[in-house]
Amino acid sequence: MKVADLPLLVCVDDESEVLDSLHRLFRHEFRVMPFTDPKKALKFISDYKKEIPIIISDFKMGPINGLDFLNTVKLKAPTSYRIILSGQIEIQHLSDSINDQIIHKFFMKPWDNEILKIQIKEVLQTRELMLEKERYKHLSITDPVTLLTNHRFFQESLSKELALCNESSPVSLLMIDVDHFKKYNDTHGHPAGDKLLQNIAARIKDGLMNIPCTVSRYGGEEFGVVLPFANKEEALRLAENIRASFEAIPFIGEDGKNSTITISCGVATAPTDTMDKAELINIADKALYKAKAEGRNRVCA
């Protein structure tokens, strides 16, 4: 394997002898980037475009301590494993930093070469597993067509918000359905239908920009929006904005032709309508059904 293909290992220590030892120890498994100056290391980490699996830092480095350094690193490279390698550190400091997830591991100086190698290998494996877990978690809540969150996430987020809901902190639910979507699908084919769903998802999100909410694909051509802090009036206003934006701007299909797509929307609000999740969905669904029955392209509560 070429050095450039090896995973990156950033090492920061104010003693260049320590950096030399680490470089000798890991040069076959990693592309070692040594820094005696934490500021330069931080600049490198911030500018680096790809992932840095592991960052090892000394604790005492002149005026800067390794925990503060790694705390800043955490923001710049959240998926990197952050390790302190030090001979002198206060236990309380260390314990707090692990609890706050500023660092993942602490290894003692002086170290045994073979042991440190095994420990770093372990860290690399742990990180891989953690990233894989994250990927699965992401997949399990993502709708593959629209890349919105899916039905499962919708149910979870509605439960969470309802648990925090009260008179002064209402939660509203929008159920949005695309009018005559089946017809569009039949005319243009399923790939074009999927593309349209993606564009619809984007437009719904645009209409709710800077509004705290979760937009999920509920199923088929139906979308569920959970709006914490929104009372009925506010939810109706937001729904109406979205509806109007669909009516006003047609979608451009793959064939370059414009299609005006409209949506119907049902609105329900907790606690005024109900505090029960299933009941709230049911009420929003009924309102949506009413909007359809009254001729579509409208919002009903």
Q: Which residues are catalytic?
A: 221
23, 60, 117, 195: which one contacts Mg ion (CB under 5 A)? 60
Strand runs (DSSP E) across 105-235, as ranges?
A: 105-108, 171-178, 214-219, 222-228
Q: Report the residue number, 23 or 60, with the smaller CB distance to Mg ion.
A: 60
The answer to whether the beta carbons of residues 296 and 264 sit under 8 Å apart is yes
Candidate ranges 6-14, 71-79, 234-242, 275-283; the one touching Mg ion (CB under 5 A): 6-14
Signed CA dihedral, 250, 252, 258, 262: sign only: negative
Tell the smallest beta-carbon distance from residue 60 to Mg ion (Å). Answer: 4
14 near Mg ion, judged by CB under 5 A: yes
What dihedral angle (degrees, nearest 10) is formed by the CA atoms of 180, 181, 183, 187? 140
Tell the smallest beta-carbon distance from residue 226 to Mg ion (Å). Answer: 50
Q: Report the residue number, 84 or 261, with the smaller CB distance to Mg ion.
A: 84
Tell the smallest beta-carbon distance from residue 56 to Mg ion (Å). Answer: 12
**127: CB partners within 8 A, 6+ apart:** 53, 54, 79, 81
85 near Mg ion, judged by CB under 5 A: no
Q: For 48-72, give one letter per residue: b (16+ CB within 10 A) or e.
A: eeeebbbbbbbbebeebbbbebbbb
Q: Report the residue number, 17 or 167, with the smaller CB distance to Mg ion.
A: 17
The closest alpha carbon to 269, from 222, 236, 242, belongs to 236
Phi and psi (nearest 5°) for 228? Answer: -70, 150
Residues in contact with Mg ion, counted by CB under 5 A, come to a total of 3
Phi and psi (nearest 5°) for 201? Answer: -60, -45
Tell the smallest beta-carbon distance from residue 23 to Mg ion (Å). Answer: 16
Q: Report the residue number, 8 or 84, with the smaller CB distance to Mg ion.
A: 84
156 near Mg ion, judged by CB under 5 A: no
Q: For 224-239, give one letter per residue: b (16+ CB within 10 A) or e.
A: bbbbbbbbbeebbebb
Tell the smallest beta-carbon distance from residue 116 to Mg ion (Å). Answer: 17
240 near Mg ion, judged by CB under 5 A: no
Q: Report the residue number, 15 or 206, with the smaller CB distance to Mg ion.
A: 15
> Cα dist. 297→220, 290, 301 in Å?
18, 11, 14
33, 58, 81, 221: which one contacts Mg ion (CB under 5 A)? 58
Interface positions with Mg ion (CB under 5 A): 14, 58, 60
